[in-house]
Structure 1
Amino acid sequence: MLGLTLRDEFKSKRLKGTAIELSNDSHTGATQIAAQAFLNITYPTHDLLKGIDAVGPGKGRPVVVIGERGLGKSHLMAALYHSVNDPDSTRSWLNSWSTTLGDPNLATIQLRDPMTVIGESLHRQRYKFLWDLLFDRHPHGIYIKGKWEGMGEAKTDIPSDQLIVEMLEKAPTMLLLDEFQTWFDGLTNTKQYPWKVWAFNFIQILSEVAKERPDLLVLVISVRNGSSDAYQQVHRVNPVAIDFQAGGNAERIQQDRRRMLLHRLFENRLQIPTATIAAGINTHVVQSFRLLDVPPAEQERKRNEFAESWPFAPHLLRLLEEQVLIATDAQETRDMIRILANLYKSRGESSPILTAADFRLDDDGSGIGALLDSVSNEHHRTLRAKAQQNIISVTEAIPRHAELLPHLQEVIGALWLRSIAVGNMAGAEPATLQVDITHSIAVDDNAFQAELSTIVENSFNIHQDGMRLVFREEENPRAKLMACARNDKLFTDGSDQAQLSKQIRYVIGGADEVAKQFRVIALPRSWQSDPWSKLEESERPDRWDDRLPVLVLPEEPENIGPSLGRWLKDHLQTRRNTVRFLLPVTGSSNAFQDRDLLILARAEMKAQEWSGQNPEYRKLHSEYQSALRDMLKKRFDRFAVLHRWNYADPSQCMFNVEVLKRQGSQIPDAIEETLINDLFVPEDFEDLALEAAAENTAVGKLLRELQEPRPAGLDCIPWLGETMMKERILRLCARGRIAINLRGMELLQAHPGEDGDLAWKRLRPKLAFTGRQLDEITLMLPSAAPSTGGSPASSQPVSAPQSGGLFPPAAPNPPTDSHVDPSPFGEGGTAPLGNIFGSPDASAERPRDAYSAPATSSLNLIGKLEGWGIGPATKVSDVVIRISAANGAQLKELLKKLPDGMTFEIRLEKEAE
């Protein structure tokens, strides 16, 4: 990347620690190496220059470095060590930076002459008391220690200020106490071991000596904060406080910090021309301004900020500094250096500018590992695992993910990093993510929105929080459901297609009143080659009942006539004329290949399956079910029924295709209305029925013929269902066009001069037979029917026979094609009898309809009464009940059951003994 070079310590596969130690046993500490080598990796920040100036000649105040772990306290103290121990190297370093930064003030900073410098990191607990450190490391320390210990009873608990001054007069000293607060807070403070009190008093002595005799002692200590007892005694003497705030100037703080980071990481960062950097990152900068709506007045300042932060984007550095690391126990600058070094090693050569999208979740070397080590937060590790699982979910759900989702890893990585921020800053808006993935080539807005939408829909831990997207540990029910629904591998068993068929059946025929009349069958995806094997047994043709079959096609066939004709020939052997084909909207794809429909069907099915886990899934089930049904209602707008049939050449078949103006469960009724009003030709049906009557054809046979296409290229008569077809046959009968022989028991036909509507009402209940019973009912022409068949009875009285018996004998050989058995009083039907024994009645002169039935059981006779319309209040007369044979007991039982309030006459023939 433009020849940028990492420092050697960051080039190895495993980074060395970036923590600064003043000294160590391997003699590689910051105060144990040459000043020039140390200052070479040091950037002159405002705080560092302030510290060097504070320990210069003539300065009389102790120096306190205040800051939490990792801010660079130890590095600053090491620089102060070298500024006093090796002022020549420090002078050269200041002059060099004065030239580089164009700041002559750096060259004017005064440096002390060389003096004894004692530096110690107290957290190593090498010394119990501070005076031990002085006595051990000062050139005259052994002498003063012996003098103090030899004072006998005059010896004090801690060395006096006089002893300290005497020692320093021999060799003026600079004392650097790193991690002073850590050491001080760990001291005991009991009556027996009052070590904290002693340390408190001794640091007061040192502070006062440093203030009063700056020529003898320069005191520098570091603490984590200014509220501890460790700092209070030094604070009393008004020390110089260095708190890494760059004088309170936020812009100066940010500039110092970033320059320090870049100088610490790279050997030659300042040697890269600004113009070259600007040209390399121009695409990213321009897209950033556009996507984030940066006002023109701010753009120049922002450009400079991008150039200052390169090779890292300023929004990445802010994210790490202000949101990610501040939310954890990370050690600020120290960990920031490790994270950025790893990121540059992994992605620096492939990206002109490094952003949050370069933190690849599949690559620990991209800075993720260093970040997680710094964070030490189990929540963020878990969130990373969730994000990785989401990547797997997306790749499994999208077969061509490499082509369709080119920025998958970058988007997920950026969103994960932005999701571990604190508070309401967690997550990112889509525009921010688009900026993150933009490097040398601009990303098309529409393509990115489509890609991001696909990623979100198939990731079940991404939540929508207002305008922001955010990763969370808990699953997003909607996202999980849709991620599952979009994963084709989970539905290889065809359960989604079965669910879609189920919903199609419900939408078209789900209503109870529809289901009673129509059988709605959603043909499968392979409807043209294998329509039945994947359907339930009850939906196959051999299991069809009398309901009208509505076959829902998943797609619009090419050349409807030939296609459906061939289909009928190959896949339906009977009842070909009964089928209604429901057609989808022109241009629609196969329903079982329509991804939108399949995904909704999957979502609806899985939401119902998971509804017991989370109430949210119940809501989603209703939502997706409603959306799916709404789409299915609008999908079908036409139907086709057979018009002309050609078995020998199905390509010559013709179908009537009619437009539907209704949707959903109203479709079946709309089909029937169209058939009845527009396609059914009553004259054709009448001609066919008359032909059948002329041949005395059974009603059952006629109905079966109507369920099949008419041969010889004749127009098919639409099948309206058994009930409707029987009704039309009865209407022809009521109009006197045909007669109907009811199984030899009754003949149905219109009376001469009878009104058609009245005849219809009279005849309508007669043809209540169904199934095989209709094969015993024949059609005939009215002229072929006996004159007694349902015609009005004669009004002339007929004389009763004189023979005895309970009932008059029946006429021999009654005709089998009449519904009225012969009367015992001759042909005609009605006798002037007032009771069952044949006595005359005045009402005989009134016209009456005559009915009779052959010998059968009493239960069947009761049924006949109901069939003749005789209810409890119906007046009947001339009732004759004939018993061909009985014994005395049966006759007696019969007489007991005759109703009270009536009189009866009996005639019978008794066999001779």
Structure 2
Amino acid sequence: MLGLTLRSEFRGRRLKGTAIELSNDSNTGATQIAAKQFLEITYPTHDLLKGIEAIGPDQGRPVVVIGERGLGKSHLLAALYHAVCDKASTHAWLNAWATTLGDPGIGNIALRDGMLVIGESLHRQRYKFLWDLLLERHPHGTFIKGKWEGMGAAKTDIPSDELIIELLQHTPVMLLLDEFQTWFDGLTNTKQYPWKNWAFNFIQILSEIAKERPDLLVLVISVRNGGSDAYQQVHRVNPIAIDFKAGGNAERIQQDRRRMLLHRLFDNRLQISAESIASLLASHVSEYFRLLDIPPAEHDRKREEFSESWPFAPHLLRLLEEQVLIATDAQETRDMIRILANLYKSRGESSSVLTAADFSLDDDTSGIGALLDSVSNEHHRTLREKAQQNIISVTEAVSDHVLRAPHLQEIVGAMWLRSIAVGTLAGAEPATLQVDITRTRPVDDNAFQVELATIVENSFNIHQEGARLVFREDENPRAKLMACARNDRLFTDGSDQIQLARQLRYVISGSEEVAKSFRVIALPKSWQSDPWSSLDESENPERWDERLPILVLPEEPEKIDRQLGHWLKTHLQKRRNTVRFLIPRAGTTNAFQDRDLLILARAEMKALEWSAQNTEYKKLHKEFETTLRDNLKKRFDRFAVLHRWNFTDPAQCIFIVEPLRKQGSLIPESIEETMVADLFVPEDFENLVLQAAAGNNSVGKLLRELQEPRPAGQDCIPWLGETAMKERMLRLCSQGKIAINLRGLEYLQTRPGEDDETSWKRLRPKLSYTGRQLDEVYLMLPSAVPSTSGSSQTQSASSLDGTLFGDETQTQNPPNTLNDPVVGGIGQQPSTIFGTGTSAGAARPRIPLSNPPTSSLNLIGKLESWGIGPATKVAEVAIKISAATGAQLKELLKKLPDGMTFELQLEKEEN
């Protein structure tokens, strides 16, 4: 991007180590290469310049470099080495940076000359005693060593200060002791081997010489912290401390570190113009200001910070420096360089600015590999695996995740990186994540909110902590549950639809009282084409009992009359007049295609299944069950019942659609209240019962007819259930309009002088028969009840309402029909058994019916209007055909049913 190039050492497939060694066996150590080569990768930080000044010709104090691993102590010592060994190259380097940074003071720093520089990384443990290093490397060391050892009995445990001064007077020395604390802490200190005490005393000698005779000795050591014993003796002489804190100026620290990092990483970072960088960063910086609500007074400073940090966002560098690397105890600068180098190699050419979103969880080369190697923390490796699993969870749960979550990898990567920070800093607010994924173009706020919600809802390790979203190793029960619920692949067996149907049934028929009176059936998604095969066998129409069927439609029919009429004809062969259709609100989709309802059903089902593992799921089960049921309760606002039937053309059927006044388990009761109060017409029912009584029909036959639509376009009489219909018949009986023959054992009828209410109370318990028993219970007109006194008007109450056993004048097996058929109408008086009427065993009356010539289709319709059903017996049937050909007659004879005999008479025309 903009021609920026990494240094050659970072371009290879395998990144070279960034640790600085003063010297090594391959002669590639920092003090073994040319000063110019080393200084090319060195940025003049405040601490480095302070160190060069501290070893200058006018200084007289030891120098102590303090800092934990990876801060750059060894690099600073190597720069001091070259500052003394190669004064010319160092001076040229200082002058160049003075021009670049616009600070003439840098070029004016005085450099020491003419000293022997001895540098050693003590952690390599090549010297048991410090004086061995000094005597071995110094040109006069062999002489001094011999002099010390030749002292005989006067020989001390360590060389005296006089011997060291004599050594240094021969050749002044700058002594660089890297990793001094590591070496010192590793010394034994026993009575037999008091080596630590010896080293403690010898470093005191060196410190005092460095302070009193800076012309002879410049002492520079590095330690990890200022509280160690290794530092104490040097501390006594008031050394110059370099602690990588840039003089306590936090802003200077940040600036120094960023410039040093960029200079260390890139060959030509300083050659990229500020204008080009600002243009490239414009959108990202603008969104950063907007989303994080940065005050206008801070804009200029922040823009400069972005420009200086490019190609890395300053918020990424702060995240790594102040949170991630501190949290993981990494070797700060050293590991930072490795992480950033890998990140730029992986994403630098494709991203205008590198943020936390560029750490791709499935690509170790994006910097994550270097980061995990640096932190060496199993927790963060595990957390990375969890985050990767969450990405898989989202892709499986969201079929169109490419469209709905286009920044999935970036958002999860940024959230993971921000989740390994320390304490309350862990995680990120949504606005921060939106900044992370913003490049050359702003991300739409609404689209981002939808995308982030999709990711969070389908992941199970993301926790909400205040305003922050954070990854945790432990699973978020709610997130896991919802991630599972949104994964369509886990419910290909249709278990979610079964659960939704189960909840639908419960919502409508939740109480036992409702379940006793109503059979609630939730029709499946394919209710129009195949309503029964996927349901339990007990819900098929063949298994229906006397409970009132309420069919719950999963969706609103487009044309209620047409669709429900066709459905009744196709999928229900009997009891078509008994069903109530429960219809969803207008505008709702098919319940089994409504993703929100399905997800609630899945969550409720899985929460119950997992409740044994974790009590949290018990709470979630209750929550989702309540939410689902509340949604289902509000789903239905109407019901439909058949009003007019047309078997030939179901599209002409008419249904009555009534609003529901109640919800949930109160719906069945509300339906029945509406049916009785608004739809049931007592006069129509009374007329039908009187017709049945006139025809001496059984109660069973009448009830079966009432369960079917009325023929010939007549208005259907709403079916209220067997019990309600029998009670209404008894009401008519108590009013004296009909009588009922209870299987020939008893006649129900009002008594002379008895009022309606008294008669009703007496008769109500009498009609307790059900099922096929009702085929032996007959309706009749009151005047048709048999009498023992010659007149039904004078018949005693005991003979009318008592049993026939005990009355010698009555037969033991009374007839199933009236003694005299009523042909002339309801008001005609029949003859008694003592008159000229037919005997008790005579056949039932016949009603002659005929129709003028018409088509066969019209005749079929006429049969329905006459009340002739499949079980109705007819006699003396004559079909008159005015004219036919021989072929038509032959075809007609072929279609006559087997098992019957037919008489044929015709008139043949002469040829």
User: Scaled by the length of structure 1, what TM-score is found?
Assistant: 0.87
Counterpart contact for 2:210–2:219, Cα < 8 Å: yes
Q: Which residue of 2 aligns with 1:707?
A: 707
- Point out the more displaced range, 137-146 or 254-263: 137-146
Change (3 A) 1:529 1:775: same
Counterpart contact for 1:207–1:219, Cα < 8 Å: yes
Cα distance in 2 for residues equivalent to 1:790 and 1:163: 154
Counterpart contact for 2:404–2:450, Cα < 8 Å: no
Q: Which residue of 2 aligns with 1:233?
A: 233
Cα distance in 2 for residues equivalent to 1:380 and 1:792: 104
CA apart distance, 1:793: 6.8
Q: Aligned to 1:47, what secondary structure does the other structure show?
A: helix
1:569 aligns with 2:606: no
Change (3 A) 1:297 1:790: farther
Q: Which residue of 1 aligns with 2:486?
A: 486
1:658-807 correspondence runs (5 A): 658-787=658-787
Listed one character per residue, the Cα deviations across residues 456-500 of structure 1 (whole Å, up to 9, x for unaligned) are 010000011111111000000000000000000000000000000
Q: Which residue of 1 aligns with 2:180?
A: 180
Listed one character per residue, the Cα deviations across residues 439-466 of structure 1 (whole Å, up to 9, x for unaligned) are 1110111111111011001000001111
CA apart distance, 1:817: 5.3
Q: Which residue of 2 aligns with 1:271?
A: 271
Cα distance in 2 for residues equivalent to 1:818 and 1:369: 96
Counterpart contact for 1:63–1:242, Cα < 8 Å: yes
Listed one character per residue, the Cα deviations across residues 129-160 of structure 1 (whole Å, up to 9, x for unaligned) are 11111111111111211121122222211111
CA apart distance, 1:795: 11
1:60-459 correspondence runs (5 A): 60-459=60-459
Q: Which residue of 1 aligns with 2:878?
A: none
Q: Which residue identity is paired with 2:60?
A: G
Counterpart contact for 2:783–2:792, Cα < 8 Å: no
CA apart distance, 1:811: 4.3
1:495 aligns with 2:495: yes
Change (3 A) 1:350 1:754: same
Aligned match for 1:816, one of 814, 817, 821: 814
Change (3 A) 1:783 1:323: same
Q: Aligned to 1:765, what secondary structure does the other structure show?
A: coil
CA apart distance, 1:512: 1.0
Q: Which residue of 2 aligns with 1:37?
A: 37
Q: Which residue identity is paired with 2:730?
A: L
CA apart distance, 1:417: 0.5
Cα distance in 2 for residues equivalent to 1:613 and 1:745: 65
CA apart distance, 1:810: 3.8
Q: Aligned to 1:655, what secondary structure does the other structure show?
A: strand
Stretches of 4+ aligned residues off by more than 4 angstroms: 788-796, 811-815
Q: Aligned to 1:92, what secondary structure does the other structure show?
A: helix
Q: Which residue identity is paired with 2:205?
A: I
Q: Which residue of 2 aligns with 1:640?
A: 640
Q: Aligned to 2:764, what secondary structure does the other structure show?
A: helix
CA apart distance, 1:646: 1.1
Cα distance in 1 for residues equivalent to 2:515 and 2:406: 50
Counterpart contact for 2:404–2:454, Cα < 8 Å: no
Cα distance in 2 for residues equivalent to 1:578 and 1:234: 103
Q: Aligned to 2:577, what secondary structure does the other structure show?
A: helix
CA apart distance, 1:794: 5.7
1:538 aligns with 2:535: no
Cα distance in 2 for residues equivalent to 1:236 and 1:638: 94
Q: Which residue identity is paired with 1:287?
A: E
Q: Which residue identity is paired with 2:290?
A: R
Q: Aligned to 2:82, what secondary structure does the other structure show?
A: helix
Change (3 A) 1:153 1:812: closer
Listed one character per residue, the Cα deviations across residues 304-331 of structure 1 (whole Å, up to 9, x for unaligned) are 1111111111111111111111012200
Q: Which residue of 2 aligns with 1:901?
A: none
CA apart distance, 1:787: 3.5
Cα distance in 2 for residues equivalent to 1:581 and 1:713: 20
Cα distance in 2 for residues equivalent to 1:812 and 1:258: 120
Change (3 A) 1:458 1:815: closer
Q: Aligned to 1:524, what secondary structure does the other structure show?
A: coil
Cα distance in 1 for residues equivalent to 2:651 and 2:559: 9
CA apart distance, 1:114: 3.4
Q: Which residue of 2 aligns with 1:19?
A: 19
Listed one character per residue, the Cα deviations across residues 660-715 of structure 1 (whole Å, up to 9, x for unaligned) are 12111111111111111111111111111111111110100000010011111111
Q: Which residue identity is paired with 1:727?
A: E
Cα distance in 2 for residues equivalent to 1:244 and 1:813: 124
Counterpart contact for 2:116–2:172, Cα < 8 Å: yes
Counterpart contact for 1:518–1:548, Cα < 8 Å: yes
Change (3 A) 1:791 1:364: farther
Listed one character per residue, the Cα deviations across residues 816-875 of structure 1 (whole Å, up to 9, x for unaligned) are 2599xxxxxxxx9xxxxxxxxxxxxxxxxxxxxxxxxxxxxxxxxxxxxxxxxxxxxxxx
Counterpart contact for 2:778–2:816, Cα < 8 Å: no
Q: Aligned to 1:640, what secondary structure does the other structure show?
A: strand
Counterpart contact for 1:751–1:791, Cα < 8 Å: no
CA apart distance, 1:809: 9.6
Q: Which residue of 1 aligns with 2:651?
A: 651
Q: Aligned to 1:613, what secondary structure does the other structure show?
A: coil
Q: Which residue of 1 aligns with 2:8?
A: 8
Q: Aligned to 2:765, what secondary structure does the other structure show?
A: helix
Counterpart contact for 1:751–1:792, Cα < 8 Å: no
CA apart distance, 1:751: 2.4
Q: Which residue of 1 aligns with 2:890?
A: none
Q: Aligned to 1:656, what secondary structure does the other structure show?
A: strand
Cα distance in 2 for residues equivalent to 1:811 and 1:158: 149
Q: Aligned to 1:766, what secondary structure does the other structure show?
A: coil
Cα distance in 2 for residues equivalent to 1:66 and 1:706: 101
CA apart distance, 1:215: 1.1
> Could you say what the CA RMSD is over the residues aligned between the two structures, in angstroms?
1.7
Q: Which residue of 1 aligns with 2:848?
A: none
Q: Aligned to 1:583, what secondary structure does the other structure show?
A: strand
Counterpart contact for 1:745–1:817, Cα < 8 Å: no
Cα distance in 2 for residues equivalent to 1:114 and 1:743: 137
Q: Which residue of 2 aligns with 1:473?
A: 473
Q: Which residue of 2 aligns with 1:586?
A: 586
Cα distance in 2 for residues equivalent to 1:575 and 1:137: 113
CA apart distance, 1:115: 2.1
Listed one character per residue, the Cα deviations across residues 557-602 of structure 1 (whole Å, up to 9, x for unaligned) are 1211111111111111110110100000011000000000000000
Runs of 5+ unmatched residues, structure 1: 797-806, 820-827, 829-913
Change (3 A) 1:740 1:176: same
Cα distance in 1 for residues equivalent to 2:270 and 2:424: 37
Cα distance in 1 for residues equivalent to 2:563 and 2:492: 29
Cα distance in 1 for residues equivalent to 2:258 and 2:197: 41
Cα distance in 2 for residues equivalent to 1:808 and 1:419: 97
Listed one character per residue, the Cα deviations across residues 52-76 of structure 1 (whole Å, up to 9, x for unaligned) are 0010112111111011100000000
Counterpart contact for 2:751–2:797, Cα < 8 Å: no
Counterpart contact for 1:58–1:215, Cα < 8 Å: no
Q: Aligned to 1:576, what secondary structure does the other structure show?
A: coil
Q: Aligned to 1:463, what secondary structure does the other structure show?
A: strand
Cα distance in 2 for residues equivalent to 1:191 and 1:497: 83
User: Scaled by the length of structure 2, what TM-score is found?
Assistant: 0.87
Cα distance in 2 for residues equivalent to 1:639 and 1:228: 86
